[in-house]
Amino acid sequence: MPKQDTSGSPYYLGIQNLQEIATREDRVCVLNILGGESRQVTPTSHSFSGGNVVFGTSPGRAGQVLKTSAGDIPVYNNVREGIDAGHAFNVGVVYLPPSAVRDGVAELVRVNDALEKIVIITEKIAVHDAREVRAMAQANGVDVIGGNCLGMADSWNGVRLGGALGGDNPAESLTKGSVAIFSNSGGFTTTIAQYLATEGWGTTTLISSGKDVYIHYAARDFAHAFQADERSKAAVLYVEPGGYYEHGVDFGKPTIACVVGRWKSKLTRAVGHAGAMAGAGDRAEDKERWFMEAFGVKGLFSPENPIVSDRGAVVTNIAHIPAALSAVMKLNNTAPDFEPRGSLALKPWIADDKGLSLPPELAMAPVQAPEPYDGQIQALAQQIGAVIARQNMKDKSGASQMNPKTQVTSVHGHSVLDMAMEPLEAIFALPLVHEIANANDSAMLDVAVAAEVNLVGDPVLAAADAAREAGNAPNAIMAAAASIVGPKRVERALACTRVLIDLFAHSGLEDGRDETFDSSSLRLSAEHGHLFTMTADEADDPRPKAILDAVEARNGKSAFLTFLKGLDIDLNRDALLAAIALTIAWGPLIRKRISRLTAETLPWYLRLYGVLVGASIPGENHRPGSLYNIPRAERFSQWTMADLCFLALTGKKPERDEALPLQILIGLLISNGPGAISAQGAKGAVAADGPQTPSRVQINKAMVGFLSHCGFSHGGNGFEGIAFLLEQFKDSGLSDPTDRDHGLDLKAMARSFATRYKAEKRQAKELGLEVRALPGVHHPVFKGKPVNYDPRERFIADFLERRGDYNAFHAYYRELVEALYEVGASPYVFCVNVDAVIAALLLALLWKDYMAGAMGDHDLENAAFNIFLYGRMIGAAAEIDDHINRGRNMDTRTPADRCGFVV
């Protein structure tokens, strides 16, 4: 027999007064109490409400408990067991998955005669089940709240039932006052309460109704209980389109209705559950009208047009609710519950515009967040530089990426083609600081590296020379040198960098070049001061002064150098290297583009760059104060990185833009992505040291890893193209390959070779021999069209053409691919690949010396290899730094089940 109610409504309604909806006397049973969501929410509800959950159910888990700060909640297999164990409850809370909700409701109403209320938190319950839930609850005289809701709370009683209203700290949002809230949105139930406080309004009862097709506790039911509640002087309704739940409801007291969702009627199809059949007269616009009629207002309330009556107002933005309520209550001669708390103005908590210039109204500075959030944000702010999550980095790179379609590799977002167009000094720090250096930073970098190239008197040079004399290839010579530049060789430079970072970290310095920055409040301790000062052994070292002079000569700007110069100490070379490196790294560090670890280790890389270039210059050319007879002061104050590389290759200072082809070549060779053998060598070396303890990774050894993973096939093969061109041009009488009027008939030369090659091919086929591949011609990706191009070759060729530059070798290659097709030696016009351009540029660079006999075949081969190494050391630095920052210990190994055994 259904229970009788006294509401006078045509259906059962047990709750007569909002005061009854969530009370301190309610006792709760939670179905599926150990489910993921309940496990998070129920302990807070229980503790906040004075321990009102008597037990929960979870089939098969009887005997377990849910721990809460207000004591353990026992768990039973089912409701009957709990009741048999002596627990009594009047509220059932349902956290079951959707398909089990209906059965859970049936269990609650059948097993517990004392049941009064059910709160259904679960969302996406089938309409079929919702229908039956409604019918069961009606037949058994039980009020249902939900489904798809967050339950209800009462700020006066200090109780919340069911869901998570008020989040993990309900007291923060549930402030005692005079306003009842009924909301279709669970999230907004709390948000509205919080907004109301900004006008001084607190709350009585808050109900999250859900917005399924069946709203079991609906606006009409709320209005009935609201009218009977003496505590509630006003109500706020948050309503969305769909359903007639609010139609013709009399609230009896001042009410603010917030109707949101006009956009839904603009959609081309139905949205969600409610109002699934379009055009049913329950759109947002319709609901606005219902409320306007009920309140006797002629329009919507907005701050600009505050339309209210003493019965209420209609808003379409929840931010307008507090002001609308105050205006309505003013007409009712009712003052807010308390002094306004906080405001709804925009308050950024955390921001970083990454150095971009935004208009002032958008570039709002962060403000202090309320506690406890501000304390947490302050703790975050202590962090300097980026924090990068570690992962397995086998065959992966966060630095380089080769586009499989174009075969063009990018390093930190800059393609090698673009890098080839930049001066070398602008890009060789890019792998580490992720940005192309500007003129100031380029100049500083030039000084830093120039200061490391002359190795006279250094065991590094002895090691390199010994390796050279032993007949090693250029990579092994460089590896011998790099091996010497171990951790102790950079210990002081890295320590200086660390000290400077600590000192300037929270000083407000944003730009490392800002020499006007006031560092007067920064103090270097005596202990740290020693780090920066020349030792007695170094007293004769002329380089520190030369570095400072060169920086001045180049008009270099550095906040750190300015600071150090102001210390009145004799700065040592490591201190200057640290200051220069940090000048370049500071911006990216503060903008969190790079990690502190990267900034701290940058001096090591710069020193290695200098040493590797220096090691490629035979020992006899390193002299005190000069290199290849070029005086120190000139190199420090005028030379670029590309000039130094040119010097290393040719023993000469480049004239005008003679170094340009070299710059292009080095740029092109920087990286071929993490799959390249050289990159794998570098990454393996890092993985083996264990990047999870980054201080133990030997960056010089990682460079050795890259160098040992180069060789005659990988790096040294650049000579193959040169050898092929030499074969064609050696006896041609060509004097200047960059002169268009060279007098050679390249077309005829190409056709003659193509004819010979075709015959050679035919013969090889007959004999069953392998046909020799032509270096610089054809590519496994850029093939199959009638005429094929390697986009990298095109890019360089276009650039040179635009400059008006000419290269006879390159022109020959273009003739050759045509001729091969014309004589039938190729099925279509092969592409001239990027290796051909490299060979053509390099040979043109060295042609005169070669023809004059100053260079032999072996020298050309070494030069080709060295150029590859100069480029790739920059790319390797990118992989090493990336792997140290991102990788895990030994992550490059291959699991045994993916290895093969062959006999």
Partner 1 sequence: MQITGMLHGAPLLKHVDFPSTEVLGPGATNDEIQDLLRRYGQVFIKPVFRGGVGKKGKAGLVGRASDLETALAEKERLYFVEHRHGNAVAKAHSVTFEAGVPAEHEVYFSITDDSRFRAPTMTLTHRGGVDIEELDADEIATIPFDALTGLKAFVVANALTDIHAPRELISPLVQHLPKLWELVHNYGMTTLELNPIRMRPGKGARLTPVACDFKGGFDRDDPRVARLGLPDHVFAADVSAFEQEVNQLRTYQGQSDVFVINDRGTILAPTFGGGANSLVTEVLGDTAIISSDFGGNPPYDKMKAVASICYRHFLAQTNVLFIIGGKSNNTDILETFRGMGDALREHFSAHGPTPLYVVVGRGGPNLVRGMGNLAETLDSLGLPYRFFGFDSAISEVVNYAKGIDAWMRAGGRDDIARALGVKQSA
Q: Which of residues 71-130 bind partner 1 (CB under 8 A)?
A: 97-99, 122-130
Instruction: Name the strand (E) or helix (H) holding 119.
Output: strand 117-120
Instruction: Give CA–CA dist 67/60, Å, rounded.
Output: 18
Kindly state whether residue 69 participates in binding partner 1, applying the rule CB under 8 A. Answer: no
Secondary structure of residue 705 in the 3-state scheme: helix
Q: Which two tokens stand for residue 358?
A: 């935004």
- CB-CB neighbours of 601 under 10 Å: 27
Q: Which of 176, 528, 591, 814 lies at the binding interface for partner 1 (CB under 8 A)?
A: 591
What amino acid occupies position 386? A
Give the Å distances, CA to CA, from 179 to 3, 176, 194, 614, 810: 31, 9, 12, 79, 83
Q: How far is the CB of 418 from partner 1 (least distance, A)?
A: 8
Site for partner 1 in 405-424 (CB under 8 A): 410, 412-414, 418
From 372-380, 599-607, 612-620, 799-807, span contacting partner 1 (CB under 8 A): 372-380
Q: Which of 13, 108, 136, 687 lies at the binding interface for partner 1 (CB under 8 A)?
A: 136
Site for partner 1 in 292-331 (CB under 8 A): 316-319
From 84-92, 157-165, 559-567, 690-698, span contacting partner 1 (CB under 8 A): 157-165
Nearer to partner 1, 412 or 779 (CB): 412
Backbone region of residue 454 per phi and psi (left: phi > 0; alpha: psi in -120 to 50; beta: other values): beta
Kindly state whether residue 899 participates in binding partner 1, applying the rule CB under 8 A. Answer: no
Decide: 816 and 833 in contact? Cβ < 8 Å. no
Kindly state whether residue 1 participates in binding partner 1, applying the rule CB under 8 A. Answer: no
Give the up-direction half-sphere exposure of residue 340: CA atoms within 13 A in the CB hemisphere.
Answer: 9
Kindly state whether residue 767 participates in binding partner 1, applying the rule CB under 8 A. Answer: no
Residue 33 DSSP label: T
Decide: 778 and 831 in contact? Cβ < 8 Å. yes
Give the Å distances, CA to CA, from 240 to 217, 237, 245, 262, 713: 15, 10, 10, 9, 69
**How many chain residues bind partner 1 (CB under 8 A)?**
118
Decide: 232 and 205 in contact? Cβ < 8 Å. yes
Kindly state whether residue 271 participates in binding partner 1, applying the rule CB under 8 A. Answer: yes
Instruction: Give CA–CA dist 861/576, Å, rounded.
Output: 37
Q: How far is the CB of 58 from partner 1 (least distance, A)?
A: 17
Site for partner 1 in 328-347 (CB under 8 A): 342-347
Q: Which of 331, 369, 495, 569 lies at the binding interface for partner 1 (CB under 8 A)?
A: 369
CA-based R_g, the chain, Å = 39
Nearer to partner 1, 238 or 609 (CB): 238
Instruction: Give CA–CA dist 432/448, Å, rounded.
Output: 15
Q: How far is the CB of 4 from partner 1 (least distance, A)?
A: 18
Site for partner 1 in 374-403 (CB under 8 A): 376-377, 380, 386-389, 398, 401
Q: Which of 14, 104, 166, 312 lies at the binding interface for partner 1 (CB under 8 A)?
A: 166
Q: How far is the CB of 178 from partner 1 (least distance, A)?
A: 22
Q: How far is the CB of 66 from partner 1 (least distance, A)?
A: 15
Residue 30 DSSP label: E
Instruction: Give CA–CA dist 615/620, Å, rounded.
Output: 11
Nearer to partner 1, 319 or 495 (CB): 319
Kindly state whether residue 794 participates in binding partner 1, applying the rule CB under 8 A. Answer: no
Instruction: Give CA–CA dist 328/628, Å, rounded.
Output: 89
Instruction: Name the strand (E) or helix (H) holding 427.
Output: helix 424-427
Helical spans, DSSP H, in 591-676: 596-615, 632-638, 641-650, 660-668
Kindly state whether residue 57 participates in binding partner 1, applying the rule CB under 8 A. Answer: no
Kindly state whether residue 287 participates in binding partner 1, applying the rule CB under 8 A. Answer: no
Q: How far is the CB of 6 from partner 1 (least distance, A)?
A: 20
Q: How many residues does the chain have?
A: 903
From 275-283, 684-692, 702-710, 748-756, span contacting partner 1 (CB under 8 A): 275-283
Kindly state whether residue 535 participates in binding partner 1, applying the rule CB under 8 A. Answer: no
Kindly state whether residue 552 participates in binding partner 1, applying the rule CB under 8 A. Answer: no
Q: How far is the CB of 126 from partner 1 (least distance, A)?
A: 4
Kindly state whether residue 592 participates in binding partner 1, applying the rule CB under 8 A. Answer: yes
Q: How far is the CB of 246 from partner 1 (least distance, A)?
A: 10
Instruction: Give CA–CA dist 665/682, Å, rounded.
Output: 21
Kindly state whether residue 902 participates in binding partner 1, applying the rule CB under 8 A. Answer: no
Q: How far is the CB of 375 from partner 1 (least distance, A)?
A: 9
Instruction: Give CA–CA dist 105/295, Å, rounded.
Output: 37
Decide: 205 and 153 in contact? Cβ < 8 Å. yes
From 287-295, 362-370, 442-450, 482-490, span contacting partner 1 (CB under 8 A): 362-370
Decide: 108 and 92 in contact? Cβ < 8 Å. yes
Kindly state whether residue 635 participates in binding partner 1, applying the rule CB under 8 A. Answer: no
Nearer to partner 1, 62 or 213 (CB): 213
Q: Across 194-253, where does the E strand assignment appear?
A: 203-208, 234-239
Kindly state whether residue 260 participates in binding partner 1, applying the rule CB under 8 A. Answer: yes
Q: Which of 29, 150, 599, 820 lies at the binding interface for partner 1 (CB under 8 A)?
A: 150
From 50-58, 190-198, 576-584, 851-859, span contacting partner 1 (CB under 8 A): 190-198
Site for partner 1 in 430-489 (CB under 8 A): 434, 436
Kindly state whether residue 799 participates in binding partner 1, applying the rule CB under 8 A. Answer: no
Q: Which of 224, 231, 264, 311 lies at the binding interface for partner 1 (CB under 8 A)?
A: 264
Nearer to partner 1, 17 or 316 (CB): 316
Q: Which of 62, 70, 270, 421 lies at the binding interface for partner 1 (CB under 8 A)?
A: 270
Secondary structure of residue 460 in the 3-state scheme: helix
From 259-267, 706-714, 728-736, 760-768, span contacting partner 1 (CB under 8 A): 259-267
Instruction: Give CA–CA dist 793/414, Å, rounded.
Output: 18
Q: State the burial class of residue 114 (Cβ atoms within 10 Å of its Cβ: 0-12, 13-18, 19+).
A: exposed
Kindly state whether residue 495 participates in binding partner 1, applying the rule CB under 8 A. Answer: no
Nearer to partner 1, 316 or 738 (CB): 316
**Helices 660-668 and 857-886, axial angle in degrees (round to 10):** 50
Q: Which of 2, 71, 167, 303 lies at the binding interface for partner 1 (CB under 8 A)?
A: 167
Kindly state whether residue 39 participates in binding partner 1, applying the rule CB under 8 A. Answer: no
Kindly state whether residue 356 participates in binding partner 1, applying the rule CB under 8 A. Answer: yes
Q: How far is the CB of 110 from partner 1 (least distance, A)?
A: 13
3-state SS of 503-561? HHCCCCCCCCCCCCCCCCCCCCCHHHHHHHECCHHHCCCCHHHHHHHHHHHCCCCCHHH
Site for partner 1 in 197-256 (CB under 8 A): 211, 213-216, 218, 238, 240, 242-245, 247
- CB-CB neighbours of 553 under 10 Å: 14
**Distance, first Cα to last Cα, the chain:** 85
**Angle, vertex CA 167, rays to CA 166 and CA 170, nearest 5:** 45
Kindly state whether residue 46 participates in binding partner 1, applying the rule CB under 8 A. Answer: no
Q: Which two tokens stand for residue 154?
A: 């009462």
Question: Which residue shows structure tokens 């049936």?
Answer: 106
From 350-358, 684-692, 705-713, 743-751, span contacting partner 1 (CB under 8 A): 350-358
Site for partner 1 in 707-736 (CB under 8 A): none
Give the Å distances, CA to CA, from 903 to 897, 900: 17, 10
What amino acid occupies position 256? I
Give the Å distances, CA to CA, from 353 to 159, 368, 507, 590, 668: 43, 18, 19, 11, 32
Q: Which of 8, 63, 113, 269 lies at the binding interface for partner 1 (CB under 8 A)?
A: 269
Kindly state whether residue 670 participates in binding partner 1, applying the rule CB under 8 A. Answer: no
Q: How far is the CB of 10 from partner 1 (least distance, A)?
A: 9
Nearer to partner 1, 173 or 678 (CB): 173
